[in-house]
Amino acid sequence: MLAPGATIGILGGGQLARMLALAGARLGLKAHVFSPVADDPAFDVCAARTQADFNDEAALAEFAEAVDVVTYEFENVPARTAQVLEAHRPVRPNPRALALTQDRLIEKQFVQSLGIATAD
């Protein structure tokens, strides 16, 4: 559980990140958005922003120092980015889940391994 005043690091700055930042603010949480895109919508509503490439490990290390926990707005964030951050801060969902969702066939096989029926 995050206490009011904690900072959520969000990878990606699109509409979902914007909604997450706004919802978090209502709970007393701050959002620090990390995105390579200068005009992403979440940058307009976050407490802090980092505009850098997802592969910029120096920027990721600085970002990790400024947040309490990390999440991502969509599955197109490189799994390696989440893995780098996990060495510094909790990442939720974890980087393994992110990697799983980036390959639909592997994702489907995982779901089937849980006994959940899927379309052929």
Token output for 83 = 């893995």
Cα angle value 56/16/34 (rounded, 5°): 20
* Tens digits of residue pLDDT in 39-73: 999 999 999 999 999 999 999 999 999 999 999 99
* Tens digits of residue pLDDT in 73-108: 999 999 999 999 999 999 999 999 898 888 899 989
Token output for 9 = 């690091």
**The whole model's pTM is what?**
0.91
Contacts of 34 by beta carbon, 8 Å cutoff, 6+ apart: 9, 10, 11, 12, 13, 49, 50, 52, 54, 59, 60, 63
120 — pLDDT class (breaks 50, 70, 90): confident
Token output for 37 = 């895109």
Domain boundaries, the chain: 7-94
What's the CATH number of domain 7-94, 3.40.50.300, 3.40.50.720, 3.90.550.10, 3.40.50.20?
Answer: 3.40.50.20
